[in-house]
Amino acid sequence: MTATVLPFQVLQAPENWRTVDFISDLHLQEQDTATFKVWQTYMHNTTADAVFILGDLFEVWVGDDAVAHHVFLQHCASVLKLCAATKHVAFMRGNRDFLVGTFFLHECRVQDLQDPTLLNFASHKILLSHGDAGCLADTSYQEFRHMVRQVNWQSTFLAKPLSERESIARQLRMQSESLKKDPQTLYADVDDGWTAQWLAQTEATCLVHGHTHRPADHHLDLGLSLSKTRHVLSDWDAAAPRPRAEVLRWHSTGKHERVSLLAQ
């Protein structure tokens, strides 16, 4: 069910769902076969009724037409399709893969989620977001985000030849990598006020998001003895010196846990 008058999407989970999984920030890319394999195995084996992918599944997405030219992306599409044949798979765009198209998702039988989306699961109201929109202190990123989310910018970008778009994406990535290496770079976190405002508006009890790569459960003090939580998902990198691939698994009872997919 989608409520169109609200500034957020509402998704009513079917009554028979017992478990839902949340993942994000896998940054899948051709060079990183280790992370892809962990994801592929997970998508094939998960016992959850639904898998919610909350952005940055892909390291970069320059347009749906790239799928026809890259076997790696075709493999990713096959994994999504195969998983979606037996369970509910939903995808929300992140800051890396915001250009994923409705056509691509439809062909993979994956639900297209708006950011944010309110998930009503059993008796729980869980707000889902990628999280980048809430990093308000990073004003230069917010300006960039505003620009690249404009339909005119996106149309102009997508009208460029695929090779040119891939070259632009490479340049942007190099800039971002060099920023990462600069010890002066400070990464903004999701803003508490932003979180509180969305939780109030949606009447959700918690926010689940990714983006910051800082997995933790933050308890928010909103006064009036309200207990609200911000659950931050882990990024995935199976080839890193400190490998990680984690699922936030939520049960209809309200119990939730972080499941590591890598052998300890």
Partner 1 sequence: MSNPQVELHIAGKGVILIELDAEKAPISTENFLHYVNKGHYDNTIFHRVIPGFMIQGGGFEPSMEQKHSDAAIQNEGNNGLKNNKYTLAMARTQAPHSATAQFFINTADNEFLNHTAPSLQGWGYAVFGHVVSGTEIVDAIEEVKTGRNGFHDDVPKEPIIIEKAVAL
Contact 228, 199 (CB under 8 A): yes
Contact 218/243 with Cβ under 8 angstroms?
no
State which of residues 47, 123, 155, 264 lies at the interface with partner 1 (CB under 8 A): 155
Distances, alpha carbon 131 to alpha carbons 122, 148, 195, in Å: 24, 16, 10
Q: How far is the CB of 105 from partner 1 (least distance, A)?
A: 9
At 98 the three-state DSSP class reads coil
DSSP, res 42: H
Q: Does 101 bind partner 1 (CB under 8 A)?
A: yes
219 SS3 class: strand
| 37 forms part of the interface with partner 1 (CB under 8 A) | no
- Residue 73 or 207 having the CB closest to partner 1: 73
Residue 64 CB, shortest distance to partner 1, in Å, is 5
Q: Residues touching partner 1: how many (CB under 8 A)?
A: 18
| One of 69, 146, 170, 219 touching partner 1 (CB under 8 A) | 69
Q: Is 159 in the site for partner 1 (CB under 8 A)?
A: yes
**Quick one: DSSP state of residue 78?**
H
C-alpha span between 243 and 259 (Å, rounded): 14
Q: Does residue 136 bind partner 1 (CB under 8 A)?
A: no
The stretch among 34-42, 96-104, 181-189, 211-219 that binds partner 1 (CB under 8 A) is 96-104
* Upper half-sphere CA count for residue 8 (Cβ side, 13 Å): 20
Nearer to partner 1, 13 or 162 (CB): 162
Among 16, 45, 47, 102, binds partner 1 (CB under 8 A): 102
For the chain, give the number of residues. Answer: 264
Indicate whether 151 belongs to the interface with partner 1 (CB under 8 A): yes
* Unique residue bearing structure tokens 């230069």: 140
Binding status of residue 169 toward partner 1 by CB under 8 A:
no
In Å, how far are 72, 75, 192 from 69, measured between CA atoms?
9, 12, 42
- Strands 246-251 and 256-260 come out as antiparallel
Contact between 103 and partner 1 by CB under 8 A: the answer reads yes
**Identity of the residue, 160 or 214, whose beta carbon is nearer to partner 1 in the bound complex:** 160
Rounded to a whole number of angstroms, the minimum distance from the CB of residue 62 to partner 1 is 10
Q: Is 63 in the site for partner 1 (CB under 8 A)?
A: yes
Counting contacts by CB under 8 A, is residue 154 touching partner 1?
yes
3-state helix, strand, coil in the chain (%, to 5): 35, 25, 40
Binding site for partner 1 (CB under 8 A): 4, 63-65, 68-69, 99, 101-103, 106-107, 112, 151, 154-155, 158-159
